[in-house]
A and B are shown apart, each in its own frame.
Chain A
């Protein structure tokens, strides 16, 4: 149900762009106004969301320690999984953000007769997630060729690398294929694994369908219906040099693609996709386990009502004396 609703939402977006450009001829709206608005929402939205998080303090030092602490000099500390220094934390965060280290250690269990609970490593989610994020990044960087003139040499090398199989013309780019496969995998596991299906919200399917449609429309443009890429670049370059133009003859598929990308950009600040910023602010990962060595400060630490020793002794003075426990007041 959640999946179907999300699919309908994405189809609606596609229809809006299709009708808007094809029937209503609103090229400027979909080619200029919407992308600018989306970019603005994206930037302002992300910044304000991060600032909103930042306004709440981190009162306690609560890293999840996943290895040996730093204690006696002859005991080997696990410097990445239980860092006690900033460089350790940076190492831990880099491995987490770039290689998804926590997901790499994922396990699956099985309850057998006996009862016997058996565990094993499972890395499919890790692999799928890694493939998805990295191919998405490569696709994104590749698109910079449409936003730079002259195109920097490094972008050309990336594209050559991405198309190293030299299949067909225009040459097949691996990142696109991997992205498509990875999104499909992420979608399938969401509907096929009962537990994951049970926890999935519409907000989980929507970005998947959105990204799938973006990838598909891009692939259709590049390999099948073709698009006037020179015209497209004139438009995109116009956007980033604040000199927007609408060249003639760009296929509607491009406008659909652009509209879906705009929708994604504008959606990010309000959605779970903010995990890209949130992971960096996660106190269980980005803090060193040094709270016995160095004092952290809780900015809102306030005095509390305590039961003092004096009150305690008043309650029990006679009993303490008879048990031979020293007291302050005889």
Chain B
């Protein structure tokens, strides 16, 4: 009583499971996405800076948007003062998307790549260019 066939089948299954990612990506070359900041609004900016420095935004934009949402919706405060003391209107559509009007190229590219599903657009109306 060895049940050798069952053991071998089990091991093949195990290796198969472990190899899924390798097979899935074999022959594919994916390019690391870079968010596109080439929009007309940004082109016109004298100083190309977001509400906070680029590195901060890259790491913490989700936190900032979350705070903005709470501030605007729950506290009714629509003024954001950034780390340099500058004031901005808290508004996804009018502030963020004013410059970053290219949702697909700016937001979605990385979000899709990293499988992140922000629920911004559950409430907000997505910019037109995204609708096909």
Binding site for B on A (CB under 8 A): 39, 42-43, 46-47, 50-51, 54, 57-59, 61, 144-151, 155-156, 159-160, 166, 168-170, 226, 228-231, 233-234, 237, 240-243, 247, 277, 280-281, 296-299
| A155:B115 contact, CB within 8 angstroms | yes
Q: How far apart are the CA atoms of A159 and B24 in the complex, in Å? A: 19
| A168:B66 contact, CB within 8 angstroms | yes
| B21:A58 contact, CB within 8 angstroms | no
Q: Does B41 contact A (CB under 8 A)?
A: no
| A151:B32 contact, CB within 8 angstroms | no
A-B contacts besides A240-B25, A296-B1, 13 pairs, CB < 8 Å: A42-B18, A47-B11, A47-B14, A58-B3, A148-B21, A148-B24, A151-B115, A155-B115, A160-B117, A169-B62, A169-B66, A226-B59, A247-B32
Q: Which of B1-20 contact A (CB under 8 A)?
A: 1-4, 7, 10-11, 14-15, 18, 20
Residues of A within 8 A of B114 (CB): 145-146, 229-230, 233
| A281:B66 contact, CB within 8 angstroms | no
Q: Does B121 contact A (CB under 8 A)?
A: no
| A230:B33 contact, CB within 8 angstroms | yes
Q: How far apart are the CA atoms of A169 and B4 in the complex, in Å? A: 50
Identify whether the interface residues of B are mostly helix, strand, loop, or mixed: helix
Closest-CB distance, B4 to chain A (whole angstroms):
6
Closest-CB distance, B88 to chain A (whole angstroms):
18
| A170:B10 contact, CB within 8 angstroms | no
Q: How far apart are the CA atoms of A166 and B119 in the complex, in Å? A: 9
Residues of B within 8 A of A151 (CB): 112, 115
| A170:B62 contact, CB within 8 angstroms | yes
Contact A156 B117, CB 8 Å, known A47-B15, A50-B7: yes
Chain B residue nearest to A226 (CB atoms) is B59
Q: How far apart are the CA atoms of A91 and B116 in the complex, in Å? A: 37
Binding site for A on B (CB under 8 A): 1-4, 7, 10-11, 14-15, 18, 20-22, 24-26, 28-30, 32-33, 58-60, 62-63, 65-66, 110, 112-119
Contact A230 B110, CB 8 Å, known A155-B115, A159-B115, A241-B26: yes
Residues of B within 8 A of A168 (CB): 63, 66
Q: How far apart are the CA atoms of A146 and B25 in the complex, in Å? A: 11
| A241:B25 contact, CB within 8 angstroms | yes
| B66:A147 contact, CB within 8 angstroms | no
Q: How far apart are the CA atoms of A61 and B1 in the complex, in Å? A: 9
Closest-CB distance, B10 to chain A (whole angstroms):
7
Q: How far apart are the CA atoms of A243 and B112 in the complex, in Å? A: 21
| B1:A50 contact, CB within 8 angstroms | no
Give 26 A-B contacts (CB < 8 Å), ordered by A residue: A43-B15, A43-B18, A47-B11, A50-B11, A54-B7, A58-B2, A147-B21, A147-B24, A147-B25, A148-B21, A148-B24, A148-B25, A149-B30, A151-B112, A156-B117, A160-B117, A168-B66, A229-B116, A234-B32, A237-B25, A240-B21, A240-B22, A241-B22, A243-B29, A247-B32, A277-B14
